[in-house]
Structure 1
Amino acid sequence: MTSGETDTDSTTSGTRLRTLLRLLPYVKPFRWYLIGSAGAVLAAMVCGLATPLVIKAVLDGPVAGRDPGSLGWLIALITALGVAEALLVWARRRLASAPGPRIEANLRADLYRHLQRLPVAFHDQWQSGQLLSRAVTDLSTLRRFIGFSAVFIVVNTTTILLGIGVLFVLDPWLGLITLACGVPLVLVSAHHETRYAVLARRSQDQAGDLATTVEESVLGIRVLKAFGRGPDIARRFAGQAAAWRRTELAKYKVLAALIAVIILLPELGLGLQLLVGALGIADGTMTVGTLVAAVTVAGYLRWPIDSIGWLLADANQSATACERYWEVRDAEVTITDPAEPADLPATGGELRFEGVRFTYPGAGAPVLDGVDLVVRPGETLALVGPTGSGKTTLTALVPRLADVTGGRVLVDGVDVRDARLADLRATVATAFEEPVLFSASVRENVALGSPGATDDDVWLALRVASAEDFVRALPWGLDTRIGEQGLSLSGGQRQRLALARAVVGRPRLLVLDDPLSALDVHTEAEVERALRRVLSGVSALVVAHRSSTVRLADRVAVLDGGRVTAVGTHAELLATDPGYRALMSALDSEQEGAVAS
């Protein structure tokens, strides 16, 4: 999923507010912190607004009456208000420091757990950079909003209303002037808020696209260097960065215009207040203390008024971040445990496909169209067929990486959709054509699917996969950390570790999607002989792209056009199926070419 799919503004202010309100369950446990923080800062601002009233009392009392003797308690009151304001600001910061990071951590943990539960089809449709930007950048934006902007939107609005009320008490005309300047301010802010929301969403999506490009170029650095495509990717990166820069500049232009209006209107109001005040003092309808207090209150309101613009902009950006977060969190988890799960038998190992159909979402023609196939207990069945025949898709249905759209997949007579996912994936182990290793130790990578595996179990699995010798030769053996994606190892070493990971839990059913493609012929035969010897009695479905692998299978199934067209032993199919002979001849030619190279 890319920014192009979401670069519209179909949301209203009400919709954005409802999006932000969906965070309330995360905020609720920390509500007293936030209420206390808002209360503290509001009380601090009340102290600030009370100070001009004391100043008025000083000017219109002791100063006007030339009575310095009564200044003492007024000065003490101003001092007390100042100390109280400082303490309340300190309390606000202390109270606000706890909720934001903890709410962010909870949101990120929930998002990560949800990503782990979403089907593979979801991850196939979304760019990893887009998911990364939502899990990192967007949640940081929400943390700042919850801990700061949300509090001050409420507090500053309340302070402005209180300040205008104070001005009306001091002099109705001075209050009307401030109110007259405030109404256009609200209208302008609302107008710029809509424009800013569009740019904020575009900017966040472009950041996700840029993160995807960086991630892909780092992971694929060998390919880029080998084909000399580094400059092309650099130009692509520069183009995306320039587009993001233009969006950010457009954001700042909108914000700059808003801030200019926010600064201009209060200045005009202050000028009018001074004019009206001076005329009032001249004709005796206003005291100097009243004018000074009014100007002081107006000055105190400058920050609350000036901040409204960027607080609203931050609220819009946070609403966009929240919307992007819920786009992922609302994605449906389609592969789940059944309401009443069935127990898988403790022994067995039969795998059966009955009328299996599968169509990818949005695709017209089915990839699998009525597959009937049985893998008997203890049998190794090789699955062969031309590219695009549905072999990998069929293997993905066994551990429920995807669910059939028709028919059934049965493990020991139990429909895989009726079994608990944990039980199913403990019974069925999978090794993929592209081995995925993590930035962790050899032990952690091999024992990934069997957390309770001992070192003896790990070494046995490595021995089965013919990986023991090279692991023992590593600097720290099982404790040696493998770099990102295992790129510090050869292709054959990575695939042998992935194979060891599949067999370490001693599964009853092994699904291998051609995991031996990077091994030389000698090592491949050695690994397969070890598998047959050590894992006797284990059922295995093996997608085979080498004739040597096919020959080690008990039976072979030919998959073509989404259907099983032939099943038999290697010798039987060679004798009776011309298509199979042609396929084997092509595989032999590819293998000979690989050996020659």
Structure 2
Amino acid sequence: MANRTSRDVLLRGLWVLGQGIREQPGLFTVGVGGSVVFGLLTIASAYVVGAIVGEVVVPSIESGRAETGLLAAGAAALLAVSVVKVGGIFGRRLGAGFMQYRLQASYRRRVTRRYLELPMAWHQRHPTGTLLSNANSDVEATWFPVAPLPFAVGTVVMLVAAIGALFVTDWVLALVGLAVFPALFALNVVYSRRMAPRQVRAQQLRAEVSAIAHESFDGALVVKTMGREGQETVRFAARAAELRDALIAVGRLRGMFDPLLETLPSLGTLAVLLVGAYRLQQGAISVADLVSVAFLFTVLAFPVRAIGWVLAELPRSVAGWDRVHRVLTATGQMPYGAEAVPAAVTDAASLVLDRIRFSYATGGPDSPDARSDTPDTATRAADDAASGPAPQVLHDVSFTVPAGRTVALVGPTGSGKSTIAALAARLVDPTAGTVTVDGVDLRELTAESLARTISLVAQVPFVFDDTVRANVALDRDGVTDESVWAALRLAEADGFIAALPDGLDTMVGERGTTLSGGQRQRLTLARALAGRPRLLVLDDATSAVDPRVEAAILAALRTSEIATSILVVAYRRATIALADEVVFLDQGRVVDTGTHQQLLARCPGYADLVTAYEQAEAQRERDRAGGVDPTGPADDASRPVEVNR
């Protein structure tokens, strides 16, 4: 079974290389052409050296004097061969290098493009660190054998030519070559088969280590707040130790086979000298022939190793290809429709959720670590299929956000508020039911119309490592500095932005590290407003903002020149009171709708929840006043972030 698996890896690795050749035939031809020239000139150099020894050196020793003309001719011949060999080396390395880096760049773009095409449901099932590994180290591993590939192909041609030259020189010495060269190739094959499982395991562990590291770094705030540095270090160290052991196993095997691969050509050279000396005594060959063959075996030792380099890297290449191809063939697209909203339409939009049901996949069977069964047919698992019955998150949810009105979503943690926000922005599609804007199903809108109509501000703000201007404008057409400042004013962010050293040109650092939590939220709100959306979805987007600032933001939105409807996930009583209508959710169902006062009067569950929120907020205010708030400045204060599904 192990031998068959290794053989499969070898065949599939050759198939992957064939795929690269089909995509870059011109560069491969240049590389192989240079390698063939180098190989043939290597054989020629052996016979030139033999001729110089036989026709110049030996006669000069026998006569006691050297012919200047013959020495000059020999030197010129060696120089000419060397110059052409240098040209071959240049062509080989140029073709191989360009081919490898072009393939890597091409597949990195393909993987990244596919990430952007795949829906959020797919991304939620795959660790970010693994996805980074797919786009970087897995792509690199897939095409790593391309670098020595032209050299290896040229070496095969060189070996065939060398065997032919040996038979022309002497059939006995040719038999020695026939014994050494196949033995060298067989040793490379055995090496590749033993290396295959070790390389696959090491490549998988690279991705796992990357995933754990990214998760720890991404959750640094939680790790430090909860004092989990030690546990995270232990978790990372355990997987890093596994990777270390796997790489040591790879190195140990390489350390065992490398001396054998080095020794075999040397043994061949020794055998040629012994047999050649006997044949020379018999008069079957000349001194020039013996020197040529011995020198040929010596210079072939290094090129032949190129075959071993390719075979040794094939398992790693196959592992990388499986992981990359898994992404490229992943299913779960969210195709956009053809319905376009005219750019001239700028009035507020209405949103209707009609009998919405939704279930999150419990974790599909796909994994970037899985391998495909055949080289030409990758495993195409249904990425959106759940491995078992998925719990239903929303149950026949129906409500309306009228044009120009503000609707607040209120409910306990896990009631489905964030899921509704994602549905409203079409980050996910409902399992059943429809989400329409101005009577048009979101699935029928074009991507441009959807982005121009609806903006979502998530509960966890994301800020790019760029300037304030770039974070707000996002390089969108028509977003000028004036509109950026207007959006910042609506988000109550113009004051602190103006106080920054370089204003709009201030670099905010990775994920906005130089800004407080409330400042990041206001910056991302300004980003959404800069596009003048007709429907604004706020998923608890001001939780880290001071309540007074939050109230000012919502009041400004209601009276701004931007015609927008607002769907806001809220928990503060002051925020809820500003809404025209409140939708109260519990366990994925709409329990009641109405104004804030109506729900307080007739819905005990709503009253209890809002009162609990209000008491918690009041306690935080008292803590801040007493100087014991553990979360820092008031602008950073927030309740624990809810990840509501």
Distance 1:414 1:133 in 2: 39
Q: Structure 2 vs 1, CA of residues 449 and 505 (structure 1 numbering), >3 Å: closer, same or farther? A: farther
Letter in 1 for 2:440: V
Q: Does 1:446 align with 2:445?
A: no
Secondary structure in 1 matching 2:464: coil
Distance 2:618 2:323 in 1: 51
Report the counterpart of residue 590 of structure 1 in structure 2. 616
Preserved contact between residue 262 and residue 305 of structure 1 (Cα < 8 Å): no
Percent identity (aligned) = 36
Distance 1:82 1:138 in 2: 38
Q: How far has the Cα of 1:352 moved from its partner?
A: 0.8
Q: Does 1:14 align with 2:11?
A: yes
Report the counterpart of residue 116 of structure 1 in structure 2. 116
Report the counterpart of residue 532 of structure 2 in structure 1. 506
Distance 1:330 1:19 in 2: 16
Q: How far has the Cα of 1:343 moved from its partner?
A: 2.3
Q: Structure 2 vs 1, CA of residues 22 and 511 (structure 1 numbering), >3 Å: closer, same or farther? A: farther
Report the counterpart of residue 39 of structure 2 in structure 1. 45
Q: Structure 2 vs 1, CA of residues 523 and 237 (structure 1 numbering), >3 Å: closer, same or farther? A: same
Report matched runs for 1:451-466 at 5 Å.
451-466=477-492
Distance 2:557 2:593 in 1: 23
Report the counterpart of residue 325 of structure 1 in structure 2. 324
Distance 1:453 1:443 in 2: 10
Report the counterpart of residue 591 of structure 2 in structure 1. 565
CA RMSD of aligned residues (A): 2.5
Preserved contact between residue 379 and residue 537 of structure 1 (Cα < 8 Å): no
Report matched runs for 1:181-192 at 5 Å.
181-192=180-191
Distance 1:409 1:241 in 2: 46
Preserved contact between residue 399 and residue 428 of structure 1 (Cα < 8 Å): yes
Q: In the TM superposition, what whole-angstrom CA distance separates every residue of 1:242-278 from its partner, at most 9, and x where no partner exists?
A: 2211111111122222223322332332332222222
Report the counterpart of residue 165 of structure 1 in structure 2. 164
Preserved contact between residue 192 and residue 314 of structure 2 (Cα < 8 Å): no
Q: Structure 2 vs 1, CA of residues 537 and 83 (structure 1 numbering), >3 Å: closer, same or farther? A: closer
Distance 1:20 1:559 in 2: 55
Preserved contact between residue 117 and residue 333 of structure 1 (Cα < 8 Å): no
Distance 1:493 1:548 in 2: 20
Q: Structure 2 vs 1, CA of residues 160 and 421 (structure 1 numbering), >3 Å: closer, same or farther? A: same
Report the counterpart of residue 232 of structure 2 in structure 1. 233
Secondary structure in 2 matching 1:511: strand
Secondary structure in 2 matching 1:285: coil
Report matched runs for 1:311-460 at 5 Å.
311-338=310-337, 341-344=338-341, 346=345, 347=347, 349-361=349-361, 362=386, 364-448=390-474, 450-460=476-486
Give the TM-score normalised by the residue count of structure 2: 0.84
Report the counterpart of residue 133 of structure 2 in structure 1. 133
Q: Structure 2 vs 1, CA of residues 9 and 242 (structure 1 numbering), >3 Å: closer, same or farther? A: farther
Q: In the TM superposition, what whole-angstrom CA distance separates every residue of 1:414-447 from its partner, at most 9, and x where no partner exists?
A: 1111111221111001101111111011111112
Unaligned runs of 5+ in 1: 1-7
Preserved contact between residue 351 and residue 438 of structure 2 (Cα < 8 Å): yes
Preserved contact between residue 7 and residue 193 of structure 2 (Cα < 8 Å): no
Report the counterpart of residue 306 of structure 2 in structure 1. 307
Letter in 1 for 2:28: L
Preserved contact between residue 130 and residue 208 of structure 1 (Cα < 8 Å): yes
Letter in 2 for 1:389: S
Q: How far has the Cα of 1:141 moved from its partner?
A: 4.1
Q: In the TM superposition, what whole-angstrom CA distance separates every residue of 1:32-54 from its partner, at most 9, and x where no partner exists?
A: 23312321221122112012223
Secondary structure in 2 matching 1:586: helix
Moved more, 245-254 or 556-565: 556-565
Preserved contact between residue 34 and residue 91 of structure 2 (Cα < 8 Å): yes
Distance 1:377 1:63 in 2: 99
Report the counterpart of residue 542 of structure 1 in structure 2. 568
Report the counterpart of residue 381 of structure 2 in structure 1. none
Report matched runs for 1:165-314 at 5 Å.
165-314=164-313
Q: Does 1:576 align with 2:602?
A: yes
Report the counterpart of residue 556 of structure 2 in structure 1. 530
Secondary structure in 2 matching 1:316: helix
Preserved contact between residue 351 and residue 401 of structure 2 (Cα < 8 Å): yes
Distance 1:590 1:47 in 2: 83
Secondary structure in 2 matching 1:393: helix
Moved more, 361-370 or 97-106: 97-106
Report the counterpart of residue 152 of structure 1 in structure 2. 151
Q: Structure 2 vs 1, CA of residues 502 and 459 (structure 1 numbering), >3 Å: closer, same or farther? A: same
Q: Structure 2 vs 1, CA of residues 470 and 177 (structure 1 numbering), >3 Å: closer, same or farther? A: same
Letter in 2 for 1:588: E
Report the counterpart of residue 627 of structure 2 in structure 1. none
Preserved contact between residue 265 and residue 298 of structure 2 (Cα < 8 Å): no
Distance 1:267 1:552 in 2: 87
Q: How far has the Cα of 1:56 moved from its partner?
A: 3.7
Letter in 1 for 2:335: T
Preserved contact between residue 344 and residue 414 of structure 1 (Cα < 8 Å): no
1:476 to 473, 480, 502: 502
Distance 1:577 1:325 in 2: 53
Secondary structure in 2 matching 1:367: strand
Unaligned runs of 5+ in 2: 362-385, 624-645
Q: In the TM superposition, what whole-angstrom CA distance separates every residue of 1:510-549 from its partner, at most 9, and x where no partner exists?
A: 1110111111221111111111111574211111122221
Distance 2:94 2:267 in 1: 37
Q: In the TM superposition, what whole-angstrom CA distance separates every residue of 1:366-424 from its partner, at most 9, and x where no partner exists?
A: 11122121111111111111211111111111222111121111111111111112211
Q: Structure 2 vs 1, CA of residues 177 and 327 (structure 1 numbering), >3 Å: closer, same or farther? A: same
1:33 to 19, 27, 46: 27
